[in-house]
Each structure stands twice: as C-alpha cells, then as structure tokens.
Structure 1
Amino acid sequence: MNTPALVKSLKEMLLKANAHVTFGDAVQSLPANLRGEVPAKMPYSIWQLVEHIRITQFDILDFSRNPDYKEIEWPKAYWPEETSPADDAAWKHSVTQVDKDLHTFIGLLEAPGVDLFSPFPWGNGQHLFREAVLLLDHTSYHTGEIVALRRALGAWH
C-alpha cells in the first residue's frame, strides 16, 4: 500500500537520527588527521567507510532509477583501497555527495504516482521500498562503525 504516511516515514528514517546518529553527525568535526587512521585490529579507516557509504548509496540510487543499470564488482568496486582521502576537497566531495545522492533518492520516493512496491522491470523483483530499506540499513550500519572508530581514536564526544 502506497500512502503519504509510508513515504513520510521512510524519508524521516533516512534523514533523521531516530535511534542512531545520522551520517552527517558521525562525520561532523572529525579532525582531518584522523580520516585515514586505521585503529588497531580494525580493517579500515573512517575515510574508507565514508567512501563505501557513498559508493554503495550511489549504486542503490542508480539501480533504483536506471533501466540500463550495470552491476559493479562486489566487493572490490565498493571499497576504496586508499585509507586516506587525497586531500580536504576529496573528503568534502564524498561527504557532500552522500547527502546529495540521499536527497535524489528521496526524490524517487516522493515522485508523483510512484508505486513503492512495483518491481522494477530490471533486476530480480526488487522495488523502491526494498531499496529504501536497504539504503537505510546499510548506511545506519556503517555510520555506527564510523562512531565506533571515532571512539577508538578518541574523537567522539
């Protein structure tokens, strides 16, 4: 059932903190020198998590709107090899792009006449509601990891 209340709930879960911090809160005021630090016994840096979120979110967005969608290689294409951003501009671009692509995805949810549960003509039965929940779940999971890394690095309040 497509209802304005369902779209509103999805939008709020994607944008607001609810039971967790937002992506924006998790990366806010992170000292530049810690972006590429890999804490002991951890497999990646905060930069790698930010880029992973950006890449995966764009992939979900692309899949959700593009009938000519082409899969990217899992897991290699979803994770950057470099532990640090090239510079401050790369960091800002990635963080800004996460927000921009999220709002573009929300635009799909809010499109007039959208059917959240109609399977895409491409894929294997996926629909926009499923992709919204996937996006929410994936970003929340890795945002929690960013907070955990910040704690390990002594950079969380």
Structure 2
Amino acid sequence: MDKQHEILIDELIKFLSGGSAHASLDEALDNLPAKLRSVKPDKLPYSIWQLVEHIRIAQWDMLKFSQNEKHTSPTWPDEYWVKETAPANEDEWKNSLKQIDNDRKEFIKLLKTGDIYKAIPHGDGQSILLEALQIADHNAYHTAEIIVIRRLLGAWKS
C-alpha cells in the first residue's frame, strides 16, 4: 500500500469514527439521561432514539450492501425509521449502540482490505470508498441532529 493510500484510509477511519471537525456519536450520547431518549422537541419530527435507530439501520444496510450481493435493503423510508419514540428497555438501547459500533468496525475492515476504488459488482457505480463517505456523512448529519435536540432540551454541554 502506498503512502497516499495509507493516509486516505487513516482519514476515512477518523471520519467514520467521528471527531476531528465534529462530535462523534459517542460524544453526542455521553451522559444523556434515559428519560430524554424519547423526547421530540416542539416541531421536530424525531426523538434521539429514532435518530440512533436510523443511524444503526442505514449504516447496517450500507455495510451489508458492500459485503453481499444477495442483501436486500429495507424499504425507504418506512423501514429506515422506527415508529417508537423510545427503546423498549435499556437492553434495546445498549444493543443498538453496540451494533452501530460493531458495524462501523466491520466496515473499517473492508477499507483495509481490497480495492476501495473498484465498483461493487452488484451495485450501480458504488465503491467501498463511496460507501465509506456516505456512512460518515450520514452519521455526522444525524449526530448533529442529536446534539441540536440535546441543546433544545438543555442537556448539552454548551
């Protein structure tokens, strides 16, 4: 692997993990009181739980699409957004966060192996590079929404 490629992979990993220019999902959720996971501030369409689940589902879908030509994506938009505003219990919350973390780690493994520029054979022009950028951008966008909700609820560090 040449030096420029190593630098690109390192930067993509940082982007996928959050931080640098924006807060990570872990930072956005740090010390979030459980009672605020389900709150939808005035005129906002989603709770923090719904955003977390949307991040989980979309990232999982992009990972599985990248890995498996037989993967079937959820139906847009209904199967990408949960109706429930809160997790059923603490285990559901923790399992969702764990899957987000595990799927991110699994996608990072894809970045480190193979040709990230090559079109995914069963796609229509996507590559591992483009999927990495889409995951990182998508997660950063919704992480920012979580922070906005926390600000509106007076539960962000300022």
- For normalisation by structure 1, the TM-score amounts to 0.95
Q: Which structure 2 residue ranges, 5 or more long, are not aligned? A: none
Cα deviation for residue 12 of structure 1 reads: 1.4
Give SS of 1:67's match.
Answer: coil
Deviations 1:71-109 (A, max 9, x none): 220000100000000011111111111111101100110
- Structure 1: 4+ residue segments shifted above 4 A: none
Match of 2:141 in 1: 141
Cα deviation for residue 16 of structure 1 reads: 3.8
Match of 2:54 in 1: 52
Cα deviation for residue 21 of structure 1 reads: 0.3
Match of 1:126 in 2: 126
Match of 2:100 in 1: 98
- For normalisation by structure 2, the TM-score amounts to 0.95
For the pair 1:81 / 2:88, whether they are aligned, the reply is no
Trace 1:106-121 onto structure 2 (pairs within 5 A). 106-111=108-113, 114-121=114-121
Provide the C-alpha distance between the structure 1 equivalents of 2:18 and 2:93, rounded to a whole number of angstroms.
22
Give SS of 2:109's match.
Answer: helix
Larger mean Cα displacement after TM superposition, 5-14 or 78-87: 5-14
Give SS of 2:120's match.
Answer: coil
For the pair 1:12 / 2:9, whether they are aligned, the reply is no
